[in-house]
């Protein structure tokens, strides 16, 4: 989340904590862990998420809400 410029405590409050719990479970069961690690290790990997990541929409939503307030 830090890499995506999302405040973890703010994301934790989304939907009473259900949204971050779901995102966590998706990460834990994801089969793209190697691709994710390689993507995260790139300093210029971007702010909007990787196309292969099933949590990209969650991170984008959290980023949008962060910039709105």
pLDDT value, residue 28 = 94
| Between 1 and 67, the higher pLDDT residue | 1
The stretches of the chain forming alpha helices (DSSP H) are 8-13, 18-29, 33-40, 56-68
Residue position matching structure tokens 């990787």: 50
| 18-29 helix and 56-68 helix, angle to the nearest 10 degrees | 150
To the question of pTM greater than 0.85 for the whole model, the response is no
Proportion of the chain above pLDDT 70, given as a percent: 84
Q: What is the DSSP letter of 12?
A: H
Domain boundaries, the chain: 8-68
């Amino acid at each position: 989340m830090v890499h995506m410029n999302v405040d973890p405590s703010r994301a934790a409050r989304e939907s009473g904590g259900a949204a971050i719990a779901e995102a966590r479970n998706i990460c834990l069961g994801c089969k793209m862990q190697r691709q994710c690690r390689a993507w995260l290790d790139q300093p210029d990997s971007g702010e909007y998420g990787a196309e292969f990541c099933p949590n990209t929409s969650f991170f984008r939503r959290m980023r949008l809400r962060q910039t709105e307030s």
